[in-house]
Structure 1
Amino acid sequence: MKSKTYSNNDVTILWQADKCTHAGVCVRTLPNVYDPKVRPWIKPENASGEELIAQVSKCPSGALSIVNE
């Protein structure tokens, strides 16, 4: 399973590619963080930890999750 983590100072996001259904909720919710046209496509430094946690909780496929460190 392909997965990758992206971190800012507060939060680490785990993205599991095989689970992603490309519903686009992440891109619509935080377009300054998620941009599938660039690499890396997730830039968590562009949002607060609270914003990221709230957005990740709305991911319909569960492809995005917060890693507890």
Structure 2
Amino acid sequence: MGKTLKKNKVTAVRQAGKCVHSGNCVRKHPAVFEPKEKPWIKIESSSTEKIIDTVKKCPSGALTYYKNK
């Protein structure tokens, strides 16, 4: 499993080795995905729904999510 990032109702999972660097995440949601920053994903900067929507558009499957119980 890759790096996990939790926010209230959702956990996003990033698997860097799968990333094809399409830039979809950065273009879709630059407030959360900032590749020039460390850490470059700031999951607390957005709503759960927007994070899920952005992750679903990842073409490589490097970003996934699951809902927290």
TM-score, shorter chain, exceeding 0.5? yes
Shift of 1:46: 0.7
Give, in whole Å, the separation in 2 of the partners of 1:40 and 1:10: 21
User: In the alignment, which residue of structure 2 is the partner of 1:18?
Assistant: 17
Give the residue type in structure 2 aligned to 1:36: P
Could you say what the CA RMSD is over the residues aligned between the two structures, in angstroms? 1.3
Counterpart of 2:61 in 1: which secondary structure? coil
User: In the alignment, which residue of structure 1 is the partner of 2:45?
Assistant: 46
Compute the TM-score of the two structures, normalised by the length of structure 2: 0.90
User: In the alignment, which residue of structure 2 is the partner of 1:63?
Assistant: 62
Q: Provide the identity percentage.
A: 51
Question: Structure 1 residue 32 and structure 2 residue 31: aligned?
Answer: yes
Shift of 1:8: 1.4
Runs of 5+ unmatched residues, structure 1: none
Give the residue type in structure 1 aligned to 2:66: V
Q: How many residue pairs end up in the alignment?
A: 68
Query: Which 4+ residue blocks in structure 1 deviate beyond 4 angstroms?
Result: none
Give, in whole Å, the separation in 1 of the partners of 2:28 and 2:5: 17
Give, in whole Å, the separation in 1 of the partners of 2:13 and 2:31: 18
